[in-house]
Structures are given as structure tokens and as C-alpha cells.
Structure 1
Amino acid sequence: MKVKVLSIPVQNQEKALKFYTETLGFVKKMDVPLSEQNRWLTVVNKEEQDGTEILLEPSPNHFEPAKVYQKALMDAGIPYAQFNVENTQMEYDRLKSLGVEFSVKPTEMGTVKIAVFNDTCGNNIQIVEIL
């Protein structure tokens, strides 16, 4: 088995697309209209465009349990997803300079260094550097 698509619930697909591409640096892979308001919208790492796709899923707007779950994770400060980075401090500095809000600054935890930011779409996202 191989992971092809990872779904992240977002409150607004257009806002999510802008944040995930312009701020985080992913590139749009798929954009297929499903209805007037919803799309099959994925982004990928620009260096691994055949790798795992992140589906910017509008489920919180249409499925109440997803909305409750997303809000509970956000309120508890629990990351919805984790992205690996080469250097947590450098990525933290780059994202901070772009106005990204962090709830956890770069912190060493055993064999990793982590930081957690708000993706502006209802989720905490953790970045991780393997030390």
C-alpha cells in the first residue's frame, strides 16, 4: 500500500489554496469542480509532484461531525497534520516573516524539533525536523 491522498478539512477552499501554495509553497495538482461550491482540490510538494497529494477538503461546511472534530482539535492545540522539514528554525523564521501564527515555537523533543502553526483554515499543523 502507498498513501496517495491525505485529506485536510478546510473551511474555505479558495483561502486554503492560497495559503497552502503562496505561503507554504505547495503547488496545485488537481482542481476538479464537484458542485457549485465544492472542488476536488489537491496540492503537492513542488519537488515531488507525483508524491502524496493533500486534499483541501471542504467537509467542515457540509458534515457537522467533521466540523466538531476540527474545532475540538484546534481548541485543544492538537495538530491535524504533520509536515517534515529540513530545518524547523529556518521554516519557522520564513513562515513568521509571512505572517503565519505559531502556537508552539521551535522546540526540541528528544530526537525531533517541532513547531505548530495555524493554517488559517481551521487547523493546527505541526512541522517536524528529525535531529
Structure 2
Amino acid sequence: MKVKVLSIPVQDQAKALAFYTEILGFVKKVDVPLSEDSRWLTVVSKEEQDGPEILLEPSPKHFEPAKTYQRSLFEAGIPYTQFNVENMQQEYDRLSALGVVFSIKPTEMGTVKIAVFDDTCGNNIQIVEML
């Protein structure tokens, strides 16, 4: 078994695509219209373009449990997912300069250094540097 696609619920796919590509530096991989307001939209790491894809999945507008789950995680400050970085301070400085809002600044926790930011699409995302 292999991991091919992981999904992140987003409130606005166009806004998410701009944030994940222009700010975070991912590359758009697949963009297929599914309906009037929904598409199969994935991004990949610039460094690993044949690696796992992140599906920027429209957060279900008419499915209250999914909306509640996403909102509850965000309000509790719990990251929806995490991405690894090579140099935490460098990535933190780069993202901060681009206006990314961090709820947790770089913090050492045992064998890792973490930081958490708002992806502007309804999620907290954690970045991690292995020490």
C-alpha cells in the first residue's frame, strides 16, 4: 500500500490554491472540474512532484458534522495536518514575511521543532523540523 492522495478540507478552493502555491510553494498537479463550484484540485511538493498529492477538498457546505469538526479543530488550535521543513527558522521567517499568521512560533519539543499557522482556509497547519 502507498499513500497517493491526502485531503485537506478548504472553504474556498481558489483561495486555497493561491495560498498553497503562491505562499507555501506547492505546485498544482491536477485540476479537473467536477461541478459548478467544485473541482478535483491537488498540489504537490515542489521538491517531490511525484510524491503524495494534497487534495484541496471543498469543505462540505451542507454536511454539518464535517463543518463542525473542521471549525472545532481550528478553534482548539489543533493542526489538521503537518508538513516537514528542513530549516524551521528560515521557513518561519519566509512565511511571516509573506503575512502568514502563526499561532505557535518555532518551539523545540524533544527531538523536533514545531510551529503552527493559519492556512486562511479553515485549518491550522503544523510545520516540523526534525532535530
TM bucket (normalised to shorter chain) is over 0.9
> Does structure 2 conserve the Cα–Cα contact (< 8 Å) formed by 1:31 and 1:41?
yes
Aligned counterparts of 2:109 and 2:49: Cα–Cα separation in 1: 31
Amino acid at match of 2:125: I
Give the deviation of 1:61 after TM superposition.
2.2
> Does structure 2 conserve the Cα–Cα contact (< 8 Å) formed by 1:60 and 1:70?
no
Query: Post-superposition, which runs of at least 4 consecutive aligned residues in structure 1 deviate over 3 A?
Result: none
**Structure 2 residue aligned with 1:111:** 111
Pairing 1:85–2:68 present? no
Which structure has greater strand proportion? 2
Identity of aligned residues (%): 82
Aligned counterparts of 1:61 and 1:25: Cα–Cα separation in 2: 27
Gaps of 5+ in 2: none
Amino acid at match of 2:17: L
Gaps of 5+ in 1: none
Give the deviation of 1:33 after TM superposition.
0.4
**Structure 2 residue aligned with 1:40:** 40
Aligned counterparts of 2:46 and 2:74: Cα–Cα separation in 1: 27
Question: What RMSD over aligned residues (CA atoms) do the two structures have, in Å?
Answer: 0.7
**Structure 1 residue aligned with 2:70:** 70
Give the deviation of 1:47 after TM superposition.
1.7
Amino acid at match of 1:84: N
Give the deviation of 1:46 after TM superposition.
1.2
Amino acid at match of 2:60: P
Aligned counterparts of 2:30 and 2:64: Cα–Cα separation in 1: 26
Stretch moving more, 80-89 or 55-64: 55-64
Aligned counterparts of 1:103 and 1:21: Cα–Cα separation in 2: 21
Give the deviation of 1:48 after TM superposition.
1.0
Q: 1:2 to 1:41 in 2, by over 3 A?
A: same
Amino acid at match of 2:70: Q
Pairing 1:121–2:106 present? no
TM-score normalized by the length of structure 2? 0.98
